[in-house]
Chain A
Amino acid sequence: MPTLAGDVQAVLADEKVHFQYQEVAAVIADNRYIAADALDLVEVEYEPLPVIVDPHRSMDADAPILREDVVKKDKVGQGPRKHANHIFTWAVGDKEGTDRALASADVVVKEDMLYPRVHPSPLETCGCVASFDKIKGNLTVYITSQAPHIVRTVVSILSGVPESKIRIISPDIGGGFGNKVGVYPSYVTAIVASIVLGRPIKWIEDRMEHLSTTAWARDYHMTGELAADKDGKIKALKVKVLADHGAFNSHAQPTKWPAGLFSVCTGSYQVPVAHVNVDGVYTNKAPGGVAYRCSFRVAEAVYLIERMMDILSQKLGIDKAEIRSRNFIQAEQFPYKTSLGWELDSGDYPTALKKVLDAVDYAGLRKEQAEKRAQGELMGIGLVTFTEIVGAEPSKACDVLGVGMFESAEIRVHPTGSVMARMGTISTGQAHETTYAQIIATELGLPSEEITIEEGDTDTAPYGLGTYGSRSTPVGGAATAVAARKVRAKAKKIAAHLLEVSEDDLDWEIDRFKVKGVPGQEKTMKEIAWAAYNNVPEGMEMGLEAVDYYDPPNFTYPYGVYLSVVDIDKFTGEVKVRRFYALDDCGTRINPMIIEGQIHGGLTEGFAVAMGQEMPFDEEGNLLGNTFMDYFIPSFVETPQWETDFTVTPSPHHPLGAKGVAESPHVGSIPCFTSAVVDAFAHLGVTHMDLPHTAQKVWKKIHELGLDKRD
């Protein structure tokens, strides 16, 4: 089957299996117990072939060819390819200029860092029920998908069933975090089985299958070089990335962006010149490379630049808050065009940083740290001042399978003033029902209890690209606001007609239009809704509804300043998070309670990635740890208390000024934890430690430095 990234992927492997746990056979049975019995009767004989596990070996001259099926293709997505195991090279920026600046700068810091392979692992695994009606030729699929409309398009392309006869229903789903965007082989198997048998077929994954075969994230092997003058002013940034994409190129990125939005890696800083080069390669591991609670490759970009800022600060002996201040893009410089081509919409970084440093008494913390160090104790302070890029995306820049990345909303106001609204996004727990209803209630002055929000059913909802990359509020919320404003514009015409005045004589107030200067002459939205179905101006269509397909003019750029304090046990390597202070600026805050909830959740997922999540493989490509026994999901007990704060710098181009928030805490907290852990050892010359910061790895560092001697 085709992948979203332009490669092909086996539904069930024939001839060659490319990674451990790859699907080779399917059993259809009346219930799961019989299916499990039958599965035991399937015997597969494997003949071992040479494998590649380390992506640094993929392009060796003598490396085994992993994909004979595409060996002759010069493109599997983005080309050209320079080795049979090479997928793409993607480069952006000014290479000569960057090299020149690096060569002539006062100081250059360089660091290799690995963002390990991690898995989003929502608490509900993937699954579907496919039901094909042989008589009518209709296919209905209930599926745990973050992008049901895209699934419909893909299923139609694969099966030849017209899109109008395919109904994809993505009901309440148990979390997604980027894992539920793609189309997996088992969905296809269930659909084919249903078409063949004419019966509903259910496929529900277990956790081991989920962790072993569905889309993981990251696996970016990065080298950063940051040049600066002796005062710490940045002169250039150069980044090289080796991306391990596994056995098939099936990452979920917009078509033209094989490394997603990674080039936002100049961060919140004025970087005069930069260059990024990313090479993607095949290995014998499960395919993936999705955005785990982040926009396409933005977690990697933010990690890189925030680590490099810390390393530069250490090299120059300038405090990490100070070095960031010296390089910030200033409030009056927005919109700011970065050297890698992004136009940051708005921000006020110095204010946010000051607020956080004051709130935690940064000077006091540094003093305490100095005292602790003198006593031989390990205390670290982490700081990040990151900028994200979300709201995928302007369709001129991004598409999936050629479909532009707009978002849609359809609003119908009934005669009694209640509302039915449908969107192309799909909530996986972000409470769209509340946020969208609130937007409509505010725009139209109708009670939110009477507004029904419906998503996820492709038969009723307008086409949309789905929910990921924090795009629901930036794009879906914008579509909702614009559609509501279209409704209000029509309502105004009806009000003018009812009140026998011109539209210019009307003022809008909360839930009604009032005639200027004539108290009591007014029509409420409810009255107008009724009139829309029986008394409209001449030449106007009856009814009160609108649709909007919103194609944003730009991305939005939420940002944050996070500070963490950790204490490390010298004898066990255990990292205790004493304090985590997160200030987010997501522009206009539509529903503070939901925003807070999203931030708590994102920080907790960031904590998981920073402190324990990874998917290790042995030399033969066996995944060592694909259950919750090994794969770290923090519980009530490990999870720190989160302190949250905010500033509000609206997006100038979003109809409501909102920027999106759910991903910032994940993206921002991970480098903040690394920053804190490394900081605990900074006085001993340590500049970087790779994720995850498990007790064992931290203890190794302690032991290597000889800090665990008991006297």
Chain B
Amino acid sequence: MIKKKISFKLNEQEVEVEVETRELLAHVIREQLGKTGTHIGCDTSHCGVCTVDLNGNSVKSCTILAVQADGGEVMTVEGLATNGELHPLQQAFIQDHGLQCGFCTPGMLIRSYRLLQENPSPTEEEIRVGLSGNLCRCTGYQNIVKAVKTAAEKM
């Protein structure tokens, strides 16, 4: 198998890793770099639990190769909190009961983060459309929408 050394910024830290060119970003982030907040839930790019931020865009890390991140900037859910303080989105998810089992939550958070960068005060409709690439089996979405609104107001 062809291996390649790649480096990128992961949550503002420079990392260097050797990967097979066929390896998916999600696997490298989880298994080589130990950031297990990024989950994997499907084989068809539908569920969004693997969502990370790459160069300022939300991407499904199960659907791109790790080598495509070479030289880029990646943010995972672990990068949201700063100096031990939870991000307003994380606080709002707790306060508004925006998670139950929590499996979808890292993807929801990192996608919501980008959504609010793009649109700091989204309407309910805009939140629903903006997050429609992320599935949840537990919450029925209502409290996630509420949490994103709460966070938008606080940010």
Q: How far is the CA of A279 from the CA of B74 in the complex (A)?
A: 56
Q: Are B46 and A633 in contact (CB under 8 A)?
A: yes
Distance between A432 CB and nearest chain B CB, rounded to angstroms? 11
The residue of chain A having its C-beta at the shortest distance from the C-beta of B104 within the complex is: A123
- Chain A residue numbers with a CB within 8 Å of B140 are 597, 600-604, 639, 642
Contact of B23 among A33, A123, A627, A641 (CB under 8 A): A33
Which residues B44-59 have CB closer than 8 A to chain A? 44, 46-47, 49
Q: Which of A122, A177, A628 contacts B103 (CB 8 A)?
A: A122
User: What chain A residues lie within 8 Å of B35 (beta carbons)?
Assistant: none
Known contacts A597-B97, A637-B128; A123 and B137 CB within 8 A of each other: yes
Tell me if B137 and A628 are in contact (CB < 8 A).
no
Among B20, B44, B138: residue with most chain A CB under 10 A? B138
Closest Cβ neighbor of B101 among chain A residues: A429
CB-CB under 8 A for A207 and B27, given A175-B137, A593-B97, A633-B46: no
Confirm or deny: B102 has a beta carbon within 8 angstroms of a beta carbon on chain A. yes
Give the docked Cα–Cα distance between A603 and B22 (Å). Answer: 40
Q: Do residues B44 and A636 form an inter-chain contact, with CB atoms below 8 A? A: no
**In the complex, what's the smallest C-beta–C-beta distance from B5 to chain A, in angstroms?**
17
Contact of A629 among B44, B100, B138 (CB under 8 A): B44
Residues of A598-638 contacting chain B, CB below 8 A: 598, 600-605, 627-629, 633, 635-637
Q: Does A174 reach chain B (CB closer than 8 Å)?
A: yes
B97 touches A123 (CB 8 A): no
State whether A429 and B46 are in contact (beta carbons under 8 Å apart), knowing that A121-B137, A174-B39, A207-B41 are contacts in the complex: no
Interface of A is mostly: loop
Which single residue of chain A is at the shortest CB-CB distance from B125?
A637
**Secondary structure of the B contact surface, majority rule:** loop
Q: Is the CB of B142 within 8 A of A600?
A: yes
Any A CB within 8 A of the CB of B131:
yes
A214 CB within 8 Å of chain B? no
Q: From B107, which residue of chain A is reached at the shortest CB distance? A: A123
User: Cβ of A403 < 8 Å from any Cβ of B?
Assistant: no
Cα(A603)–Cα(B141), bound, Å = 11
Classify chain B: how many residues form its interface, as a range: 35 or more
Residue B145 is within 8 A (CB to CB) of chain A in the complex: yes
Q: How many residues of A contact B (CB 8 A)?
A: 41
What residues of A have a CB within 8 angstroms of the CB of B143 in the complex? 596-597, 600
A600 with B139: CB separation less than 8 A: yes
Most A CB atoms within 10 A — which of B1, B101, B128, B140? Answer: B140
Please judge, given known A-B contacts A124-B41, A206-B43, A628-B135, whether A172 and B102 are in contact too, CB under 8 Å.
yes
Q: Which residues of A contact B99 (CB under 8 A)?
A: 429
Let me know if B22 and A628 touch, CB within 8 A.
no
Instruction: Identify which of B20, B103, B142 contacts A33 (C-beta below 8 A).
Output: B20
Return chain B residues, CB-CB under 8 Å to A174.
39, 41, 101-103
CB pair B103–A123 under 8 Å, yes or no, is yes
- Which of chain A's residues 635-658 have a Cβ closer than 8 Å to chain B? 635-637, 639, 641-642
1/0 per residue, CB under 8 A from A, across B106-129: the answer is: 000000000000000000000111
Question: Which residues on A sit within 8 Å (CB–CB) of B13?
Answer: none
Residue B152, interface by CB 8 Å: no
Whether, in the assembled complex, A25 has its beta carbon less than 8 Å from a beta carbon of chain B, the answer is no
- List, in ascending order, chain A residues with CB within 8 A of B39's CB: 123-124, 174
Kindly identify, within residues 7 to 59 of chain B, every residue whose CB is under 8 Å from any CB belonging to chain A: 20, 22-23, 27, 31, 39, 41-44, 46-47, 49
Question: In whole angstroms, what is the CA distance A597 to B97 when docked?
Answer: 7
* Pairwise interchain contact A629-B46, C-beta atoms closer than 8 A: yes
- Is A430 an interface position by the 8 A CB rule? yes
Nearest chain B CB to A630 CB, angstrom units: 9
In angstroms, Cα B39 to Cα A123, docked, is: 10
A601 and B128 in contact (CB under 8 A), knowing A428-B101, A429-B102, A628-B42?
Answer: no
CB of A197 closer than 8 Å to a CB of B: no
Complex Cα gap A177–B27 (Å): 27
Given A124-B101, A604-B141, A642-B140, check contact A637 B129 (CB 8 Å): yes
Residues from chain A with a CB closer than 8 A to the CB of B102 are 172, 174, 429
Chain B hits for A593, CB < 8 A:
97
- Those of A338-368 within 8 Å (CB) of chain B: none
The digit string for A311-323, where 1 denotes a CB below 8 A from any CB of B, is 0000000000000
Answer whether A123 and B101 are a contact pair too, CB < 8 Å, given A601-B139, A604-B141, A628-B42. yes
Asked if B22 and A33 sit within 8 Å, CB to CB, the answer is yes
B1: nearest residue on chain A (CB-CB)? A33
Interface residues of chain B, those whose CB is within 8 Å of chain A, are 1, 20, 22-23, 27, 31, 39, 41-44, 46-47, 49, 97, 99-104, 127-129, 131-145
Q: Lowest 6 A-B CB distances belong to which pairs?
A: A174-B103, A429-B101, A600-B140, A429-B100, A604-B140, A628-B46
